[in-house]
Amino acid sequence: MEKKLTESEVKKLNSKKGMLALLSKEPLNIERALRFVDYEKKLEKLQIELIRLQTWAINNDERIIVVFQGRDAAGKGGAIRRVTERINPRHMRIVALPKPNEDERSQWYFQRYVEQFPKAGEMVFFDRSWYNRAVVEPVNGFCTQEEYEIFMNQVNDFERMILESGIHLVKIYMSISKKEQAKRFADIKSDPLKQWKMTKLDEKAQALWDQYTVYKKAMFDRTHKENSPWKIIRANRKTEARINVINHILKSIPYDKSLEI
């Protein structure tokens, strides 16, 4: 027996967003469409709060860093897009650094990240960060064991200095299951519009899953501190993860929630 729709649900489906959600994928799935409409409404409210947060930061010369780490295909880029798509682009930056060049390899490891730090009134979002050296680099042989240990011995002091300088630091780790990662990789490979996302590292991610897990646990054990904690976002469902990411950012920064925008 089919579920009878409530008046509220019918109203949602008859909206522009509802019709788009209903017709965008085959076969028609009413429950999925209703979930998407609810997600879009939640997202809009949270994005208004992000504008309020940014306005507060601009007015008060605050500096904000949000670090995104996580498994390959965990949805970091998609989450960052939803966080940033409505805020003022002149007062925010998304940083996704390529592998270091020869000069950068000779510098203090943290130096090229420090050069990307926010100025007064700015928000910076790192799509992967200095924490590459905690997981990605040792797993793939891009650093020595000595370089790894030096990083792990320095990173907590580095973040203490960031916080003591007055910068707000939010650390987010997006987590997916091995099965979900395999599913997303298959989707990327089969979609001509997404194939560019697949890297050589992604190709090895499933085979190196257990090694990533070992280093990930070590990272949490040694860098989850009271003054700079990690927030693990379960990301098997992308829409839910994006909502949770924005909620966490808003809860982590003591902005003026009564500010008019």
Say if residue 12's pLDDT is above 90. no
Q: Please state which architecture CATH assigns to domain 61-252.
A: 3-Layer(aba) Sandwich (3.40)
Q: Is 66 exposed, middle or buried (0-12, 13-18, 19+ CB in 10 A)?
A: buried
Domain segments of the chain as ranges: 61-252
pLDDT class for 10, splitting at 50, 70, 90?
low
Say if residue 24's pLDDT is above 70. no
pLDDT number for residue 36? 86
Mean pLDDT of 231-236: 98
pLDDT tens sequence across 85-115: 999 999 999 999 999 999 999 999 999 999 9
Say if residue 2's pLDDT is above 60. no
Query: pLDDT exceeding 90 applies to what percent of the chain?
Result: 85
pLDDT number for residue 1? 41
Please, what sign has the CA dihedral across residues 148, 154, 156, 161? negative
pLDDT number for residue 3? 64
More confident residue, 13 or 48: 48
- Residue-level length of the chain: 261
Say if residue 74's pLDDT is above 70. yes
**Which candidate, 172, 187, 181, 190, places its Cα nearest to that of 228?**
172
pLDDT number for residue 43? 98
**What is the residue-wise DSSP string for the chain?**
-PPPPPHHHHHHHTSHHHHHHHHSSSS--HHHHHHHHHHHHHHHHHHHHHHHHHHHHHHTT-EEEEEEEESTTSSHHHHHHHHHTTS-GGGEEEE---S--HHHHTS-TTHHHHTT---TT-EEEEES-GGGGTTHHHHHTSS-HHHHHHHHHHHHHHHHHHHHTTEEEEEEEEE--HHHHHHHHHHHHH-TTTGGG--HHHHHHTTTHHHHHHHHHHHHHHH--SSS-EEEEE-SSHHHHHHHHHHHHHHHS---TT---
Say if residue 8's pLDDT is above 90. no
142, 149 in Cβ contact below 8 A? no
Q: Tokens 């949000």 label which residue?
A: 66
pLDDT tens sequence across 176-188: 999 999 999 999 9
pLDDT tens sequence across 113-127: 999 999 999 999 999
pLDDT tens sequence across 134-171: 999 999 999 999 999 999 999 999 999 999 999 999 99
Which residue(s) pair with 169 in the sheet? 65
State the Cα angle at 129 between 128 and 135, rounded to 5°.
Answer: 80
pLDDT class for 246, splitting at 50, 70, 90?
very high
pLDDT number for residue 16? 63
